Chains A and B, each alone.
Chain A
Amino acid sequence: MRFIDEFRRSDLAQKLIARIKQKALSPARFMEFCGGHTVAIFKFGIRQLLPPTIDMLSGPGCPVCVTDNSDLDKAIALAQLPDVIAATFGDMLKVPGSHSSLQKAKAEGADVRIVYSTMDALQIARENPSQSVVFIGIGFETTAPTIAASVLQAGQEKLDNYYVLSLHKLTPPVIKALLDSGEVKLDGIVCPGHVSTIIGSSPWEFVARDYGIACAVSGFEPIDILLSIEMLVSQVEDKAPKVDIAYRRSVRPDGNRRALELMDTVFEPCPARWRGMGLLPDSGLRFRKEFERFDAELAFDIDPGPTYEPKGCICGHILRGVKTPMDCELFAKLCTPEHPVGPCMVSSEGSCSAYYLYGAAYEP
């Protein structure tokens, strides 16, 4: 498959690994911000191929894992409303909220439908005019513009039964919060390639400039990831932090102007609650005034009830890179893919599930 096979070539990977081994003299700790990178690193076995001096840490880059229980409970409450069809990406189905999950609500009779795209959610709205379709809007800057586009399209088609619950999150604010917390010492960050396809590479400049941390924007194939690690190692050894673009075929400094306009037309930044990090200013997206009629939170009155966090679950710390799944007393004992306690075990992008399935899972 074009643009995939060429970037999985083993010969090129071996060359990059050899160069990394030669260059990486001092120990270095790199965070791969994005869940997609965490899965790719485990799936291709990249962790084993790197020299032991390099430590890879997974970050808060999974929009499902960082969704706070209070927001999850809203999504579940909306799905439980009579004649509401909840349309959602598959990732959200199994995540446990305080009392239930979309999967449990579905089993109890709620109309919950999995879609690959908001284009399919719009189609469900067209085919069910007597019911309200609520799309559970999760995702970072890669996904938010596509959901904004669906809202604009619904407006054009006068689809008055299409709503969105906006749980979208912005990535630079959470990286800043993570670095300001000083909880974890990082030498470099593998920056998210598809978020940067939209926002460009320039929003990461502050990380190198203000915090002296190496940055490389990476794609999701093994060659992309190894190339970005090679760039980070060079920056660390040369003591010259900057923002390198390893994913040149897709990322430019200024990103996708059109997508950013669409996002900005429909949504505006607002404070958002992140699991494990609390309320971060200007880190979420809410509907602008002119598009309030699409806001599911305003259109329906729901009472999701008090929020509970599972005892002993340290997903919050894991998301901040302060702890790894191995530090969690529930990991692979009470918390397994069959009976997930925290979101990092539920989402296949979550580091706990990646640790359990691909890497260091051990007999409970």
Chain B
Amino acid sequence: MCLAIPALIKSINGKEAEAEIGGIGRRVSLWLTPEAKVGDYVLIHTGYAINVLDQEEALETLRLLEELSEVY
């Protein structure tokens, strides 16, 4: 329902940041995520970072799936 994509925060300037989305750059707003830091991955929806992605949880989800045996 709401298209949002992961982006890497490259630099921050007040409430705005330069983000990199797989090779393209876009100015994004941090109004909704004041805690975001350079080097964070954030989810961008309509130009706004709507949260900071939890990289550990992502790796944990993938690790669990890799260990998943097909027959349980």
CB contacts between A and B, total, < 8 Å: 137
Asked whether A12 is an interface residue with its Cβ less than 8 Å from the other chain, the reply is yes
- A223 adjacent to B4 (CB under 8 Å): no
Number of A residues whose C-beta is below 8 Å from B? 53
Asked whether A130 is an interface residue with its Cβ less than 8 Å from the other chain, the reply is no
- In the complex with contacts A22-B72, A194-B50, A248-B61 CB distance below 8 A: yes
User: A120–B65 Cα gap in the complex (Å)?
Assistant: 40
| B1: nearest chain-A partner, CB-CB | A34
User: A24–B58 Cα gap in the complex (Å)?
Assistant: 26
- A249 adjacent to B53 (CB under 8 Å): yes
B residues in contact with A349, CB < 8 Å: 1
Asked whether A198 is an interface residue with its Cβ less than 8 Å from the other chain, the reply is yes
- A142 adjacent to B65 (CB under 8 Å): no
A residues in contact with B48, CB < 8 Å: 117, 119, 145-146, 149
Asked whether A352 is an interface residue with its Cβ less than 8 Å from the other chain, the reply is no
- B46 adjacent to A143 (CB under 8 Å): yes
A residues in contact with B29, CB < 8 Å: 117, 119, 146, 149
Asked whether A321 is an interface residue with its Cβ less than 8 Å from the other chain, the reply is no
Interface centre among A3, A18, A61, A149 (most CB of B within 10 A): A3
| A245: nearest chain-B partner, CB-CB | B57
Asked whether A287 is an interface residue with its Cβ less than 8 Å from the other chain, the reply is no
| B43: nearest chain-A partner, CB-CB | A250
A residues in contact with B54, CB < 8 Å: 248-250
